[in-house]
C-alpha cells in the first residue's frame, strides 16, 4: 500500500455498523465509529479520530434507516474524512466461513452466493455481515472487498478437536466444530511475541502455592524451563469475553481447540446466549413445552445467558453493581464455566504457559478476572491485585496489553485489548498486495 492509500473495515450487526479507517502502509488509524439503531428510528452516526476524540455526529430523526442507506452515508463520510487518500479496499468481518473458506477472500457475487448458504449456521450474524458487502458492490464496485472469517483461524485445529460423535452422513454435510472469535484470537497471537519481550514476562517463577498441583499435566518445570516457555511458542489459553464469549487453546500461536463449536451459541454463557446445554433440553422444549423452532432460537440466542439467569441485564457492569442474588448467580455461573473450560483447554494443550483476557468483559471487569484467577490457583496462577485494579498504565505494551499476574506466578496472565479491526485491515492489505 502507498502512503495515500486507505482501508475501511466494516463490522455489521443486525442493528449497527461499526467501522474503522486506516491509512498508509503502516495502517495508521484515522477514524472509527458506528451507526446504531438501524431499523429502529433515531438512527445515530458517531465518529472519533485516530486518537479517540469525537469528530462527527449525525442523527436521522425520521423513518428507520436500513443497511443500504447507512452504507451510503458512511461512504460519503469516508470520502470527506479521507481527503488526500484513496480507498483501495474494504474489509468485512463475516462470522461463518464454513468448510470452504479458511482465509481471507475477495468478495464477489459468486462468493456471496456460497456465504448465503451458511446463513442457517449463523442466522443472527451472517445476513447482516453480508448486507454491507452488497451495498458496496452497488455503490463502489471498483473497490476491492475482502471477507475475513471468524471461523478461519480455527481451521488449524486437529480433526479430533473438530469432530462430533455423529454418523458420517451427518458430519459429511459440514456438521462439525468450527470455533468463532477467530479474528480476535489471531490478533492476540500476533501480539504474543511482544509480551515475551516485556520485562515482567521474564520474572523468576514462584514457589508452588499451597493447593497447587506439583505436576502440571506432565512434569513440574524447572525455573530455567519456565523462563524458556515463552507465550508465542508456548501453550496459551485466550478468553474473549464480551456479549459473545469464548475461549481458545493456542499452541505456538495456532488454534488447537475452542469452546464454541458448530455455531456461536456453544460454550460459555454469554450476554443473552445460553452457551452449552444438553441437546436433550431442546428435545424437551419441543416435546413437552411444544415450543417451535423460532421460539427455541429466540430463547437460546436472545433470552438466556447473563440476561436469562439474572432476569435483569445482559451487561456485566449492571450485574456487578446489583445487589440482587440472581445477578450474583449469573456472574458466578460464568466464572465457574470459565474455570471448567480453562482446565479442559489446558488438558488439550498438555499444560499451560499463559492466560490472556480480552473482549469487553475480559478487558474491563476487574472482579471477574480476579475470580477466574483465584479459581485457577491450582494451575499455579497468582494474581497481582494492584496490577489487576490499575489496568493499563505506563508499563503497558504498544498494543495496550498489561500483565495482571504476580511477578512470580508460574503462569503469567495478561490482558490484551481486542483489535479485530486491525486484523481485518492487515488481511485486506495482504490480499491487496498479493
299 close to 275: Cβ distance less than 8 angstroms:
no
List CB contacts of 25: < 8 A, sequence separation 6 or more: 1, 2, 3, 5, 429
| Annotation says 150 is catalytic | yes
Closest CA to 237 of 364, 324, 340: 340
The cell numbers describing 15, all together, are 442493528
List CB contacts of 314: < 8 A, sequence separation 6 or more: 243, 271, 272, 305, 306, 307
204 close to 382: Cβ distance less than 8 angstroms:
no
The Cα–Cα gap between 90 and 194 comes to 28
Q: In what order do the strands lie in the sheet with 245-251?
A: 254-258, 245-251, 235-241, 354-358, 413-415, 402-403
Pick the catalytic residue from 150, 266, 353, 384: 150
Residue with cell 462430533: 164
List CB contacts of 138: < 8 A, sequence separation 6 or more: 68
384 close to 404: Cβ distance less than 8 angstroms:
yes
The cell numbers describing 160, all together, are 479430533
The number of residues making up the chain comes to 434
The Cα–Cα gap between 362 and 342 comes to 14
| Count of C-beta atoms within a 10 Å radius of residue 278 | 8
Catalytic residues: 150
Amino acid at each position: 500500500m502507498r502512503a495515500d492509500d486507505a482501508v475501511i473495515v466494516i463490522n455489521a450487526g443486525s442493528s449497527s455498523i461499526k467501522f474503522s479507517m486506516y491509512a498508509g502502509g503502516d495502517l495508521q488509524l484515522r477514524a472509527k465509529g458506528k451507526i446504531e439503531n438501524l431499523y429502529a428510528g433515531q438512527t445515530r452516526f458517531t465518529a472519533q479520530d485516530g486518537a479517540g476524540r469525537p469528530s462527527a455526529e449525525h442523527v436521522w430523526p425520521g423513518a428507520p434507516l436500513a443497511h443500504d442507506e447507512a452504507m451510503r452515508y458512511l461512504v460519503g463520510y469516508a470520502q470527506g474524512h479521507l481527503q488526500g487518500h484513496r480507498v483501495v479496499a474494504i474489509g468485512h468481518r463475516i462470522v461463518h466461513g464454513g468448510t470452504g473458506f479458511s482465509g481471507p477472500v475477495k468478495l464477489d457475487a459468486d462468493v456471496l452466493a456460497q456465504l448465503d448458504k451458511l446463513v442457517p449456521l449463523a442466522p443472527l450474524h451472517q445476513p447482516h455481515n453480508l448486507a454491507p458487502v452488497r451495498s458496496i458492490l452497488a455503490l463502489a464496485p471498483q473497490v476491492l472487498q475482502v471477507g475475513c472469517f471468524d471461523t478461519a483461524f480455527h481451521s488449524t485445529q486437529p480433526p479430533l478437536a473438530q469432530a462430533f460423535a455423529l454418523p458420517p452422513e451427518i458430519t459429511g454435510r459440514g456438521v462439525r466444530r468450527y470455533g468463532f472469535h477467530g479474528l480476535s484470537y489471531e490478533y492476540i497471537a500476533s501480539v504474543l511475541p511482544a509480551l515475551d519481550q516485556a520485562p515482567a514476562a521474564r520474572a523468576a517463577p514462584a514457589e508452588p502455592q499451597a493447593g497447587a498441583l506439583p505436576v502440571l499435566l506432565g512434569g513440574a518445570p524447572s525455573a530455567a524451563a519456565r523462563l524458556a516457555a515463552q507465550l508465542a511458542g508456548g501453550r496459551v489459553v485466550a478468553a474473549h469475553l464480551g456479549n459473545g464469549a469464548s475461549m481458545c487453546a493456542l499452541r505456538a500461536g495456532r488454534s488447537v481447540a475452542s469452546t464454541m463449536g458448530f455455531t456461536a451459541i456453544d460454550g460459555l454463557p454469554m450476554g443473552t446466549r445460553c452457551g452449552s446445554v444438553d441437546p436433550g433440553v431442546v428435545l424437551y422444549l419441543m416435546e413437552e413445552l411444544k415450543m417451535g423452532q423460532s421460539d427455541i432460537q429466540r430463547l437460546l440466542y436472545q433470552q438466556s445467558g447473563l440476561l436469562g439467569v439474572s432476569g435483569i441485564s445482559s451487561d456485566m457492569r449492571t450485574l456487578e453493581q446489583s445487589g440482587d442474588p440472581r445477578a450474583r448467580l449469573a456472574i458466578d455461573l460464568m466464572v465457574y464455566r470459565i474455570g471448567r473450560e480453562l482446565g479442559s483447554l489446558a488438558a488439550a494443550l498438555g499444560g499451560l504457559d499463559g492466560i490472556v483476557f480480552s473482549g469487553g468483559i475480559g478487558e474491563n471487569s476487574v472482579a471477574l478476572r480476579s475470580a477466574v484467577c483465584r479459581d485457577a490457583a491450582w494451575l499455579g496462577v497468582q494474581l497481582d491485585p494492584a496490577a489487576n485494579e490499575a489496568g493499563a498504565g505506563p508499563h503497558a505494551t504498544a498494543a495496550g496489553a498489561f500483565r495482571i499476574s504476580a511477578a512470580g506466578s508460574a503462569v503469567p496472565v495478561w490482558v490484551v485489548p481486542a483489535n479485530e479491526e486491525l486484523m481485518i485491515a492487515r488481511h485486506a492489505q495482504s490480499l491487496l498486495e498479493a
